């Protein structure tokens, strides 16, 4: 017998129906409210417009936040058609910035939402494997730090192919993929007075023998935290950074939100365009790195299907929000430091520089607001700090002579590959900024594509220090 549960628009489970065949938990018509079987074609542009307006009515969001969340909400109804399920990270510097309210709005609009303020790693992969929900996690900052096992599972759970954990299960436990009701409280069994899940546990869905079992942890997830999410997790998220609203910013009360019509339209849109959603390969903005392109691709595919202004809006949001993240993670901070080192080498026209000279130059920059200053933790740049910071990137000081001075220092040629790998294209193309302590370089010092280099290829590091220089 096959047990299939209808899932209503608000994520609750309807009555189970039985047919012959293998057991399946995912409905063939996922997301449609009971009794609603389609209707007129859904205008994707108008649907996304209405979703965006809904978020703007109830939550104060940063620029591009409403557009991103509108696309992500639609994605939660269609994630099973893609290979990557996009994460949303919601951060704020302090409490009362609207994170919980935003999760409550998503709880009404997303497909099969499961909202929790805390979750263990065992419950995490089991609820996903059993319910295929949209997982909404609040207060992440209170339980994720130090929980390496849960963080590792979350890191791997955004790609279908890698989103599995393997556990040893004992005889009588639920097997992976068995249906369980995660949205409604368990009813008591009239005969045993025990929870109904125990009766099911001992009857149809129990594992006959102990052994290894594989559980899926793949589903859309939104996680809210005060402060920063762990760096490896944030790198897999589209980050929405929220702040407290001002006295002039007004929001409606959440009780005014009527979500049934919107969730029904989302489900019908996905049913109508399921093949196009699954096969969509949208053109990605060149400014996105590989991981950002992965997590934005499902949203851009939906935007292209919706049409109107949404293809352009989605790409602007992707570039803006991905750029903001790049500047805040550790790679972004080191990238800003490398940018200043590049500027120093260009402006001094040096192919080599002693450590103490570079340290003196960088300390002069600390008098101004530089993005990498948090790396110093209130201290000044020293030769030891600089050496430790650059060592993971394969750059180490060497014994050398610079003019009449002998000491340890750096060769410009050692930075060439690192500049090309870690500096965004636009920074390599314009490496001098207003924070430089000396005059700007001439046009001859700035990098320019060579005869064989097209404008679409990755720019090369500047020529002033690309030649070979031997150390003493």
d(CA 299, CA 117): 26
Q: What is the pLDDT of residues 389-425, one digit of tens each?
A: 888 788 889 998 777 788 899 988 888 888 877 776 5
Q: What is the CATH number of the domain that holds 199?
A: 3.40.50
Neighbours of 24 (CB within 10 A): 14
Q: Does position 383 have pLDDT exceeding 60, yes or no?
A: yes
Residues 321 and 223 in one domain: yes
Residue 327 has pLDDT above 90, yes or no: no
- Cα–Cα distance, 362 to 356 (Å, whole number): 10
For residues 465 and 403, the model is more confident at 403
Instruction: Express as a percent the part of the chain with pLDDT over 70.
Output: 71
Which pLDDT score, from 0 to 100, does residue 173 have?
Answer: 63
The answer as to whether 114 is a domain residue is yes
> Do 238 and 375 belong to one domain?
no
* Residue 354, domain extent: 330-465
Task: Give the residue from 264, 299, 326 where a domain finishes.
Answer: 326
The mean per-residue pLDDT over the stretch 432-457 comes to 37
Number of domains in the chain: 2
- Say if residue 43's pLDDT is above 60: yes
What is the Cβ-side half-sphere exposure of residue 146, based on CA atoms within 13 angstroms? 3
Which has more pLDDT, 340 or 436? 340
Note the pLDDT of residue 207: 53
Specify the pLDDT at position 298: 96
Q: Which of 274, 309, 326 is the last residue of a domain?
A: 326
- CA dist., res. 459 & res. 448, Å (int): 8
Structure tokens at 302: 């939906």
Pick from 90, 62, 49, 48: which is nearest to 249 by CA?
Answer: 62
State pLDDT tens for residues 279-307: 999 999 988 888 899 999 999 999 999 99
Residues 176 and 299 in one domain: yes
Residue 310 — very low, low, confident or very high, per pLDDT cuts 50/70/90? very high
Residue pair 269/41 in contact (Cβ under 8 Å)? The answer is no
Please give the full DSSP string across 188-237, using - where no structure is assigned.
BPTTT-SBHHHHHHHTTSB-SS-EEEEEE--S-EEEEEES---HHHHTTE
The answer on 456 and 404 residing in a single domain is: yes
| 472 part of a folded domain | no
User: What predicted TM-score, i.e. pTM, was given to this entire model?
Assistant: 0.64
pLDDT digits (tens, 9 = 90+) for 346-363: 888 878 889 999 999 898
Q: 414 and 388, same structural domain?
A: yes
Same domain, 365 and 377: yes
- For residues 315 and 212, membership in a common domain is answered with yes
Least confident of 16-30, 223-237, 267-281: 16-30
CA distance 301 to 439: 46
Q: What is the pLDDT of residues 244-285, one digit of tens each?
A: 888 888 899 888 898 999 999 999 999 999 999 999 999 999
Residue range 429-447: mean pLDDT, rounded: 40
- On whether both 356 and 373 belong to a single domain, the answer is yes
Place of tokens 């959440």: 254
Residues 226 and 365 in one domain: no
Q: Is 37 exposed, middle or buried (0-12, 13-18, 19+ CB in 10 A)?
A: exposed
Are 311 and 397 within one domain? no
Residue 322 shares a structural domain with residue 360: no
Q: Among residues 297, 326, 355, which one ends one of the domains?
A: 326
Return the percentage of the chain with pLDDT > 90, whole number: 33
């Amino acid at each position: 017998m096959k047990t299939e549960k209808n899932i209503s628009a608000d994520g609750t489970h309807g009555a189970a129906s039985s047919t012959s065949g293998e057991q399946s938990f995912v409905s063939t018509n996922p997301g449609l409210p009971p009794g609603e079987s389609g209707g007129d074609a859904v205008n994707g542009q108008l649907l996304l417009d209405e979703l965006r307006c809904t978020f703007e009515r109830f939550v104060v969001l940063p620029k591009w936040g409403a557009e991103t969340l509108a696309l992500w909400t639609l994605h939660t109804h269609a994630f099973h058609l893609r290979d990557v399920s996009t994460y949303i990270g919601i951060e704020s510097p302090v409490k009362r910035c609207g994170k919980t309210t935003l999760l409550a709005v998503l709880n009404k609009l997303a497909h099969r939402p499961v909202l929790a303020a805390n979750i263990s790693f065992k419950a995490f992969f089991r609820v996903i494997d059993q319910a295929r929900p949209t997982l909404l996690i609040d207060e992440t900052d209170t339980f994720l730090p130090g929980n390496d096992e849960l963080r590792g599972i979350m890191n791997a759970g955004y790609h279908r192919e890698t989103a599995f954990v393997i556990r040893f299960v004992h005889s009588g436990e639920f097997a992976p993929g068995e249906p369980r009701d995660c949205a409604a409280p368990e009813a008591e069994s009239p005969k045993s007075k025990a929870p109904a899940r125990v009766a099911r546990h001992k009857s149809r869905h129990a594992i006959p023998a102990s052994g290894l079992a594989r559980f899926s942890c793949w589903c859309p997830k939104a996680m809210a935290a005060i402060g920063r999410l762990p760096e490896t997790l944030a790198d897999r998220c589209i980050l929405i950074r929220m702040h407290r609203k001002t006295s002039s910013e007004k929001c409606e009360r959440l009780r005014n939100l009527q979500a049934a019509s919107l969730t029904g339209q989302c489900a019908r849109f996905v049913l109508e365009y399921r093949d196009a959603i699954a096969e969509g390969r949208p053109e990605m903005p060149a400014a996105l790195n590989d991981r950002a392109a992965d997590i934005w691709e499902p949203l851009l595919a939906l935007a292209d299907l919706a049409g109107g202004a949404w293809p352009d809006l989605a790409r602007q949001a992707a570039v803006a929000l991905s750029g903001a993240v790049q500047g805040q993670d550790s790679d972004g901070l080191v990238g800003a430091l490398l940018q200043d080192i590049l500027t120093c080498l260009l402006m001094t026209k040096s192919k080599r520089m002693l450590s103490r000279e570079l340290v003196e130059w960088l300390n002069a920059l600390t008098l101004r607001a530089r993005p990498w200053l948090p790396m110093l933790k209130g201290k000044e740049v020293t030769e030891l700090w600089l050496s430790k910071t650059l060592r993971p990137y394969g750059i180490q000081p060497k014994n050398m002579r610079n003019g009449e001075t002998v000491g340890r220092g750096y060769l410009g040629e050692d930075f060439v590959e690192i500049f090309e790998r870690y500096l965004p294209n636009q920074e390599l193309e314009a490496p001098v900024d207003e924070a430089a302590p000396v005059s700007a370089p001439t046009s001859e010092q700035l990098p320019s594509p060579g005869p064989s280099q097209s404008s679409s290829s990755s720019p090369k590091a500047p020529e002033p220090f690309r030649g070979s220089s031997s150390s003493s």
